[in-house]
Amino acid sequence: MKLRSAFVLFFWVLNASAITEEIDFKRFNEAQKCFKESGRDENKRIRCAQDSLDLGKKIFKPTSKNIITLTYNLAMAHPRLSSERYIGFERALQMSESKFGADSIELIDLLLALANEEMENRYINKLYDRAADIFSEQTGEKSISYATFCMRIAEESILYLNTKGRLRTSSRYAEQASKIFKEQLGSSSEDYAIANLQLAKNQLSVRKYRKAIPYLENALDNIHVSKYARGFLVTVYLKLDKPDLANLYSEVPKAQVIKVENIPYEVIFQNLPGGLSKKGWATVQFTISKLGRTDNIKVIDGSSRLHKRNLSKVVSNWRYKPAFVDGQPVDTPGVKYTYRWSVHKR
């Protein structure tokens, strides 16, 4: 009788455990769906990501790759440059190092994500360099793949913050990419031109117009990039009070007008203000001219005079591919842009 009771209890426990596990899986799937459908609702996205991680810890092993992914998702749910986002990436990186090893290719995206959130130059470069070393070991330091990865760093390193330290890091990796592209693909290749355009934009961000000129000239040989390089050269020579040279580069061969559907404007270059060490925001309104320049710049609102002044200062250097109507470029008035600062402390 006692043996029979023990079997009944054992199977009851097994059944109860299976039911609990099934409920946890169902709730986990609901939380995951909630996270994917949260859109721009920040609070909902964070809540659903946290629920997914909490339930995932009940379902998966602590060392599972799924837990790393869920930790990464929770970090991504938090605002850019927030301490919660930074700490989340750190935890995900530590778990990945423990599971895959310190030199695993699995670490690269996490290293870049953490570097993009970092504030101190020495840690920024340490993280980017570590990711680059891992990648070069896999592909070779002279390969096109490695050059493309260097360009990824060059672009991502100044995506959210545009400090002088980050600009130097961006230029260092763009320079590496430029050398490889020239050696492997030639000076007329699109990749080589884009790398030089990035180097020029970094110089323009700190108003070093003369230093930008050689890079812009290097980008002229590729037909797809030359029109942008010419536009920047016009701006540079006007800034240097050399209208004759500006006119020289403003003269481009007339192309056949092709009837196309209306095309919205596209961003070519947006440098962002750097060096701000507190939370804040600013909003500007401007017109994108048919030449892709910004006109009629007005500061609408902002959290401080410093934020408003710094944002309005850089907008004049922004460049766009203008909108087209029936194949002809047109002005786009009333464009609004809001930039938010949310700098965390280590």
> Tokens 């991502």 sit at which residue?
156
**CB–CB of 294/316 below 8 Å?**
yes
From the list 65, 91, 96, the residue with the least C-alpha distance to 76 is: 91
pTM: 0.71
- Would you call 161 helix, strand, or coil by DSSP? coil
Q: Dump pLDDT digits (tens) for 292-324.
A: 888 888 888 888 887 788 888 888 888 888 888
DSSP labels for 43-87? HHHHHHHHHHHHHHHHHS-TT-HHHHHHHHHHHHHSPTT-HHHHH
> Tell me, what's the pLDDT at 75?
93
> Tell me, what's the pLDDT at 8?
47
> Tell me, what's the pLDDT at 344?
52
**CB–CB of 45/85 below 8 Å?**
no
> Tell me, what's the pLDDT at 236?
92
Report d(CA 325, CA 257) in Å as an integer: 11
- Would you call 154 helix, strand, or coil by DSSP? helix
Report the 3 state secondary structure along 211-231: HHHHHHHHHHHCHHHHHHHHH
Overall average pLDDT of the 237-247 stretch = 89
> Tell me, what's the pLDDT at 106?
92
Helices (H), the chain: 2-36, 42-59, 65-77, 83-100, 108-117, 121-139, 144-156, 164-185, 190-205, 209-218, 223-239, 243-250, 305-315
Of 6-15, 134-143, 287-296, the range with the highest mean pLDDT is 134-143
Angle at 250 between CA 245 and CA 251, to 5 degrees: 105
111 vs 278 pLDDT, higher one: 111
**CB–CB of 277/342 below 8 Å?**
no
* Residue 257 confidence class, pLDDT cut points 50, 70, 90: very low
Beta-bridge partners for 299: 284
> Tell me, what's the pLDDT at 281?
81
Please, what are the domains in the chain?
Answer: 146-253 (1.25.40.10), 265-346 (3.30.1150.10)
Report d(CA 227, CA 212) in Å as an integer: 16
> Tell me, what's the pLDDT at 193?
93
Q: Dump pLDDT digits (tens) for 151-205.
A: 999 999 998 888 889 999 999 999 999 999 999 888 888 899 999 999 999 999 9
> Tell me, what's the pLDDT at 63?
85
> Tell me, what's the pLDDT at 262?
61
> Tell me, what's the pLDDT at 270?
79
Element spanning 160, H or E: none
How far is the CA of 249 from the CAs of 256, 274, 307, 326, in angstroms?
19, 30, 34, 26
